[in-house]
Amino acid sequence: MREKFSEQLTLLNNSLIEMGCFIEHAITMAIKALIEQNTAIAEQVIAYDDEIDAKEKDIESLCIKLLLQQQPVAKDLRLISAALKMITDMERIGDQSADISEIAILLADKQYIKKLEHIPKMAGATKLMVRNAVDAFVKKDLELAYQVIQADDEVDDLFDLIKKELIALILKDPQNGEQAIDLMMIAKYFERIGDHAVNIAEWVVFSLTGKNKFGKTI
């Protein structure tokens, strides 16, 4: 029985790695579509969200099967419960990548009001956070999970910088306003992706320590 349970936990880890690769790819393609003003790539990201949703359902089904059939206790129960929470955040990252791509389509035939410098940095930072958060779960690496949580400061700082730059452009010329708001929304989506990566990391901490983000033992 325990051998079967171990096999299913390995399958869970592999499935989470695969879903992590899916959402990393979605982030990569979304920022590529924005930078290159490529509507075909943007449309691929939007369509790709269906695969991410399907993977979430597969993992959810596996977790429920593990809970009902294996009746895990203590640490194993926390691990499966954390995985169920993580995939919700991972699915939202897929949604937000699609949201970014929808705005990229709207901006595809327009000249940018400023060079896209900090938004790609946000994309890179959030993608690394996502990768490390999933790796922390699979490798049971508490230190890596805490690194993800700390890395959110960089994403927040970039968002604040982008916001200030765009506000300055609006004040300089109100005609910049519509595109500035669109770019602000994209930056906000990347900030949310960073928040979801932090949520994933916090669930990793819970799975390993039994403590929630408030430090309380559950």
Tell me the HSE value of 17 on the side-chain side, using a 13 A CA sphere.
10
**Per-residue pLDDT, 79:** 92
Which residues of the chain register pLDDT less than 70? 1-2, 212-218
Q: Which two tokens stand for residue 45?
A: 């990201």
- Give the Cα separation of 180 and 42 in Å (integer): 19
Angstrom distance (rounded) from CA 136 to CA 113: 39
C-beta neighbour count of 157 within 10 angstroms? 13
- What pLDDT is stored for residue 69 in this prediction? 84
pLDDT digits (tens, 9 = 90+) for 105-135: 999 999 999 999 999 999 999 999 999 999 9
Residue 154, CB-side half-sphere exposure with 13 Å CA sphere:
18
pLDDT score, position 27: 98
CATH code, 2-209: 1.20.58.220
- How far from 63 is each of 85, 134, 139, CA to CA, in Å? 11, 16, 18
Domain boundaries, the chain: 2-209
Each residue of 28-56: pLDDT tens digit? 999 999 999 999 999 999 999 999 999 99
Beta bridge partners of 211: 217
Cα–Cα distance measured from residue 24 to residue 26, given in angstroms and rounded to the nearest whole number: 5
Alpha-carbon distance 114 to 135, whole Å? 35
Predicted pLDDT of residue 133: 97
Is the Cβ–Cβ distance between 119 and 186 less than 8 Å? yes
Among 217, 193, 196, CA closest to 85: 196
Give residue 23's pLDDT: 97
Angle at CA of residue 170, ends 166 and 176, nearest 5°? 95
